[in-house]
Each structure stands twice: as C-alpha cells, then as structure tokens.
Amino acid sequence: MTFRINWFPVITAHASLACYKTYERNENMIQWMNGIFKKVVCIVDETEFNNFKNETDFVVLTESSLDNKEVVLAFCPREEYPKKFKFLKMWTPQNI
C-alpha cells in the first residue's frame, strides 16, 4: 500500500487520539500520560499489519479516502510489549 507522505501526520494524530479515548481509564494509559509520554510510529507491510491485529489493547483506524481500508493500529501503552514489537522498523519520511 502506498500513501502520500502528508497523510502520515494526520493518520497518526487520529490514531493517537482514538487510542487515548478508548483506553483513557486504563492504568497503563494513565501512567503513560503522567510520565514520559513517549510515542513511536512504525511501518509494516500488510502481513505484519494483520499479524499485529492478534495482539490486545489496540484500536484500528480506517481511511475514508481509501475506501475505508484499515491503515493504522494504535496500541495502548503497557509496561512490556511482546518481543515482536522490538523488531519493527521506525517510520521516517524516507521509507515511504
């Protein structure tokens, strides 16, 4: 799937807010909001995207201009993420 580079800030902003609103009463979310507040944006292929939908505590967002295709997973903060998260490639404008 190919995106125009200017969509990423909007999509990630929506995902961040949707995740917060969904999990705002979650203890890990509260701790994160009152702490470091670190955010990471990663890029995956379609297979990896679908694989990460087997995890817990996340929201999935769709993009109306792409016929409501699922485009983002935003995970609720947690003390420890499964090992596979450590191998994700961080998003930069150069790897579009």
pLDDT tens digits, one per residue of 40-93: 899 999 999 999 999 999 999 998 888 999 999 999 999 999 999 999 999 887
Characterize 56-80 residue by residue with b for buried, 16 or more Cβ atoms within 10 angstroms of its Cβ, and e for exposed. Answer: eebbebebeeeeeeebbbbbbbbee
Which token pair is 45? 């292929």
Q: Is 66 helix (H, G, I), strand (E, B) or coil?
A: helix
Global pTM reads 0.86
Domain boundaries, given as residue ranges, for the chain = 7-91
